[in-house]
Amino acid sequence: MKLGFIGVGSIGSPMAGQLLRAGHELVVHDIRRDAAASLLARGATWADSPAAVAAASEIVATCLPGPREMEHVTLGPKGILDGVRKGALYIDHTTNSPLLVRRVHDALAARNVDMLDAPVSGGTEGAQTRDLLVMVGGDGRVFERARPVLDTLAARVLHVGAIGCGSVCKIMHNCASFTLDLAMAECWTVGVKAGVAPETIVDVFKNAALGNMMSLKVRLPATYLRGNFDPRFALKLARKDLGLALELARAYDTPMRLGALCEQEMVEAMARGWAERDASIFLTLQEERAKVQVRVTPENR
């Protein structure tokens, strides 16, 4: 199959390399031609513009730094929209704005061109070894059309919903990941100031429940995600534990902004009479404000 790939940086280059390894004919473009040197040495063909890549390809993919670059490559002068063939498929691997993704999708649909948004998780190393997760948004028929190519790129490919949903999943996952990083940094700084060696407190986190993501794998699926708040670990006990952490932080003059916000949520939940319910019930306050529930039945886990 003749494929196009635009954006051959630290993640795009090894992804494109997987396509070459699988025997596809590959046309590439990047803002810097030297970024494509290793791919060209392995048999890829260079094109001078995104439009030229699209004109030469049955399927064209992008892996770009962000929305601004993706908008320029797709809708700008000599962009994909200018050269893409009727009946072609465009796959965007950029960590992108779902709003932009849907706008580009509509522009391409007017030209009878299919589109998927398919951001990846796993980084450069994952792209080199196929140890990637691809989160794919788009029509199910289009997803099945693209599946053989996506399977070439990644060990795990998930169809997550309509167009734009891949980007929603990616940016929400990253948001949670960065926030968790900050929460751990808060706790580690308090631990170190309270006398625990850095390597020790980090090792504890690695070996305890958090290191195995027990909240996501076991506790939350059994409680919050099912709407089952029979106490496994009571809210009053969680509030006590968090209070002890914040007390220690104050004693060592170390701010814990996320911890303090979490305490406020727990205090509000306690005020509703939920002290004896499972600790995860305080998460429903966020559901109330968002006017949506997050529930997963066991068979869909």
* Angle between helical axes of 12-21 and 140-153 (0-180°, round to 10): 90
State the catalytic residue, choosing from 2, 78, 86, 170. 170
| Full DSSP string of 148-183 | HHHHHH-SEEEEEESTTHHHHHHHHHHHHHHHHHHH
In the residue annotation, 217 being an active-site residue is answered as: no
- CA-closest candidate to residue 73, choices 88, 93, 44: 93
Query: Which distant-in-sequence residues (6+ apart) come within 8 Å of 151 by Cβ?
Result: 157
Distance between CA 50 and CA 144 in Å, rounded?
A: 25
Residue keyed to tokens 């004109």: 55
* Strands 133-137, 120-121: pairing kind: antiparallel
- CA-closest candidate to residue 140, choices 156, 111, 116, 121: 116
Distance between CA 3 and CA 95 in Å, rounded?
A: 21
Q: From the CB of residue 294, how many other CB atoms can be counted at a distance below 10 Å? A: 13
Distance between CA 8 and CA 29 in Å, rounded?
A: 7
* Strands 45-46, 59-62: pairing kind: unpaired
| Positions marked active-site | 170
